[in-house]
Amino acid sequence: MIPFNKPYLTGKETHYIYDAVHSGKISGNGKYTKLCHAYFEERYGFKKCLLTTSCTDALEMCALLINIQPGDEVILPSYTFVSTANAFALRGAKLVFADSDSSNPNIDAAALTELITPATKAIVVVHYAGVACDMEAIMSVAEAHNLFVIEDAAHSIESFYKSRPLGGIGHLSTFSFHETKNIISGEGGMLVINDDALIGRAEIIWEKGTNRSAFFRGEVDKYSWVDIGSSFLPSEVISAFLFAQLENLEEIQSERIRIWQRYYDAFNEQEHLRQRLPNIPEHATNNAHMFYLLCDSA
Q: Residue 152 is part of a domain; what is its CATH number?
A: 3.40.640.10
For residue 25, being part of any structural domain is answered with yes
DSSP for the chain, please give it.
---S------S-HHHHHHHHHTTT--SSSSHHHHHHHHHHHHHH--SEEEEES-HHHHHHHHHHHTT--TT-EEEEESSS-HHHHHHHHTTTPEEEEEPBPSSSSSB-GGGSGGG--TTEEEEEEE-GGGPPP-HHHHHHHHHHHT-EEEEE-TT-TT-EETTEETTSSSSEEEEE--TTSSS--SS-EEEEE--HHHHHHHHHHHBTTB-HHHHHTTSSSS--B-S---B-PPPHHHHHHHHHHHTTHHHHHHHHHHHHHHHHHHHHTSGGGGGGS----TTB-----------S--
For residue 109, being part of any structural domain is answered with yes
For residue 295, the model assigns a pLDDT of: 87
For residue 137, being part of any structural domain is answered with yes
Give the Cα separation of 31 and 81 in Å (integer). Answer: 32
CB 19 within 8 A of CB 35: no
DSSP for 169-183, please give it.
SSSEEEEE--TTSSS
For residue 292, being part of any structural domain is answered with no
Using left for φ > 0, alpha for ψ between -120 and 50, and beta otherwise, residue 158 falls in left
Q: Which of 197, 222, 198 is nearest to 210 (CA)?
A: 222
pTM: 0.95
Give the Cα separation of 178 and 154 in Å (integer). Answer: 9
For residue 264, being part of any structural domain is answered with no
Q: Which of 276, 277, 252, 248 is nearest to 262 (CA)?
A: 277
**What is the number of domains present in the chain?**
1
Note down the domain range covering 32: 13-249
For residue 5, being part of any structural domain is answered with no
For residue 297, the model assigns a pLDDT of: 84
CB 153 within 8 A of CB 173: yes
What order of strands is seen across the sheet that includes strand 48-52? 48-52, 189-193, 172-176, 148-152, 120-126, 73-77, 94-98
* The pairing of beta strand 94-98 with beta strand 120-126: unpaired
For residue 142, the model assigns a pLDDT of: 98
Please say whether the dihedral angle defined by the alpha carbons of residues 98, 101, 107 and 109, taken in this order, is positive or negative. Answer: negative
For residue 119, being part of any structural domain is answered with yes
For residue 273, being part of any structural domain is answered with no
Residue segments in the chain with a per-residue pLDDT below the cut of 70: none
